[in-house]
Structure 1
Amino acid sequence: IDTLNQNLTDILREIEIESERVAHGKAKLSLLDKVENGRLKVQQGIIAGCSGGNYENVIAAANALRGQSCGNDTFSLAVYPSSQPVFMDLAKKGVVADLIGAGAIIRTAFCGPCFGAGDTPINNGLSIRHTTRNFPNREGSKPANGQMSAVALMDARSIAATAANGGYLTSASELDCWDNVPEYAFDVTPYKNRVYQGFVKGATQQPLIYGPNIKDWPELGALTDNIVLKVCSKILDEVTTTDELIPSGETSSYRSNPIGLAEFTLSRRDPGYVGRSKATAELENQRLAGNVSELTEVFARIKQIAGQEHIDPLQTEIGSMVYAVKPGDGSAREQAASCQRVIGGLANIAEEYATKRYRSNVINWGMLPLQMAEVPTFEVGDYIYIPGIKAALDNPGTTFKGYVIHEDAPVTEITLYMESLTAEEREIIKAGSLINFNKNRQM
Structure 2
Amino acid sequence: MAYYDGCISVDLSAIKPMIALPFHPSNVYEIDTLNQNLTDILREIEIESERVAHGKAKLSLLDKVENGRLKVQQGIIAGCSGGNYENVIAAANALRGQSCGNDTFSLAVYPSSQPVFMDLAKKGVVADLIGAGAIIRTAFCGPCFGAGDTPINNGLSIRHTTRNFPNREGSKPANGQMSAVALMDARSIAATAANGGYLTSASELDCWDNVPEYAFDVTPYKNRVYQGFVKGATQQPLIYGPNIKDWPELGALTDNIVLKVCSKILDEVTTTDELIPSGETSSYRSNPIGLAEFTLSRRDPGYVGRSKATAELENQRLAGNVSELTEVFARIKQIAGQEHIDPLQTEIGSMVYAVKPGDGSAREQAASCQRVIGGLANIAEEYATKRYRF
Fold shared by both chains (TM-score > 0.5): yes
What is the distance in 2 between the residues matched to 1:83 and 1:279? Answer: 45
**Native 8 Å contact 2:307 2:350 kept in 1:** yes
Distance in 1 between residues matched to 2:47 and 2:376, nearest whole Å = 39
Q: Does structure 1 conserve the Cα–Cα contact (< 8 Å) formed by 2:281 and 2:291?
A: yes
Q: Which moved more, 1:291-300 or 1:270-279?
A: 291-300
Return the alpha-carbon distance in structure 2 between the equivalents of residues 232 and 17 of structure 1: 29
In structure 2, what is the Cα distance between the partners aligned to 1:267 and 1:45? 28
- Which deviates more from structure 2 when the two are superposed, residues 226-235 or residues 20-29? 20-29
Structure 2 residue matching 1:230: 3-state secondary structure: strand
For residue 144 of structure 1, report the CA deviation from its aligned partner: 3.1
1:181-234 Cα distance to aligned partner (Å, 9 max, x none) = 000000001111111111111111111100011100111111111111111111
Following superposition, the deviation at residue 303 of structure 1 comes to 2.0
Distance in structure 1 (CA, Å) of the matches to 2:45 and 2:318: 52
Distance of 2:99 and 2:240 partners within structure 1: 46
Range with greater deviation from structure 2 (54-63 or 12-21): 12-21
Contact 2:164 2:183 in 1 (8 A): yes
| Residue in structure 2 matched with residue 109 of structure 1 by the alignment | 139
| Superposed displacement of residue 319, structure 1 | 0.8
Unaligned stretches of 5+ in structure 2?
Answer: 1-30
Deviation at 1:25, TM superposition (A): 2.9
Q: Residue 130 of structure 1: CA displacement?
A: 0.4
Note the C-alpha offset of 1:306. 2.5
Displacement of 1:142 after TM fit?
Answer: 2.5
Q: Contact 2:164/2:180 (CA < 8 Å) preserved in 1?
A: no
The residue aligned with 2:158 is: 128
* 2-structure distance, mates of 1:92, 1:138: 34
Separation in 2, partners of 1:268, 1:107:
28
Task: Specify whether residues 281 and 24 from structure 1 end up closer, same or farther in structure 2 by C-alpha distance, changes over 3 A only.
Answer: closer
Alignment partner of 1:287 out of 308, 317, 329 = 317
Query: SS of 1:356's equivalent?
Result: coil
- 1:336 equivalenced with 2:366 (yes/no): yes
SS at match of 2:387: helix
Query: 1:124-165 CA deviation, whole Å, 9 max, x = no partner?
Result: 111111002222211123333321112111110010011111
Identify the match of residue 79 of structure 2 among 34, 39, 49: 49
Instruction: List aligned pairs for 1:148-167, cutoff 5 A.
Output: 148-167=178-197
**2 CA distance for matches of 1:191 and 1:179?**
30
CA distance in 2, matches of 1:236, 1:111: 31
**Per-residue CA distance 1:365-400 (angstroms, 9 max, x = gap):** xxxxxxxxxxxxxxxxxxxxxxxxxxxxxxxxxxxx
Aligned to 2:341: 311
Deviation at 1:73, TM superposition (A): 0.5
SS at structure 2 position matched to 1:291: coil
* Aligned CA distance change for structure 1 residues 64 and 15 (closer, same or farther; 3 Å): same
Question: Do 2:145 and 2:170's aligned partners in 1 also have CA atoms closer than 8 Å?
Answer: no
Displacement of 1:300: 2.0
If asked which structure has higher relative contact order (CA below 8 Å, sep 6+), I would say 2
Say which SS state the counterpart of residue 357 (structure 1) adopts.
coil
Structure 1 window deviating more from structure 2 (231-240 vs 75-84): it is: 231-240
1:252-277 alpha-carbon deviations (Å, 9 max, x no partner): 01000000000000001111110111
Runs of 4+ off more than 3 Å: none
SS at match of 1:232: strand
Deviation at 1:304, TM superposition (A): 2.4
Greater mean alpha carbon deviation, residues 282-291 or residues 117-126: 282-291
Deviations 1:2-54 (A, max 9, x none): 11111222222222222223333322221121111221111100000111000
The CA deviation string for residues 266-295 of structure 1, in whole angstroms up to 9 with x for no partner, is 001111110111111111111112121221
Distance 2:374 2:184 in 1: 41
Task: State how far apart, in whole Å, the 2-side matches of 1:17 and 1:274 are.
Answer: 29
The structural deviation recorded for 1:310 is 1.8
Q: Deviations over 1:314-347 (max 9, x none)?
A: 1111111111111111100000010000001111
Q: What is the DSSP-based 3-state SS (H/G/I as helix, E as strand, rest coil) of the residue aligned with 1:163?
A: helix
Helix, strand or coil: the match of 2:111?
Answer: coil
Distance, in Å, in 2 between the alignment partners of 1:315 and 1:14 is: 53
CA distance, structure 1, for counterparts of residue 194 and residue 180 of structure 2: 21
Match for residue 243 of structure 2 among 200, 207, 213: 213
More divergent stretch after superposition (92-101 vs 23-32): 23-32
1:114 shift after superposition: 1.2
Q: Which runs of 5 or more structure 1 residues have no equivalent in the other structure?
A: 359-441
| CA RMSD, 1 decimal | 2.2
Among 316, 324, 344, the residue aligned to 2:354:
324
TM-aligned CA deviation for residue 81 of structure 1: 0.3
What's the counterpart of residue 282 of structure 2? 252
| 1:70 aligned to which of 100, 125, 131 | 100
Is the 2:158–2:182 Cα contact (8 Å) retained in structure 1?
Answer: yes
SS at match of 1:244: helix
Distance between the aligned counterparts of 1:21 and 1:271, measured in 2? Answer: 17
In structure 2, C-alpha distance between the alignment counterparts of 1:156 and 1:299, rounded to whole Å: 59
What TM-score results when the alignment is normalised by the length of structure 1?
0.79
Match of 1:387 in 2: none
Deviating more after overlay: 106-115 vs 289-298: 289-298
Is 2:49–2:58's contact at 8 Å kept on the other side of the alignment? Answer: yes
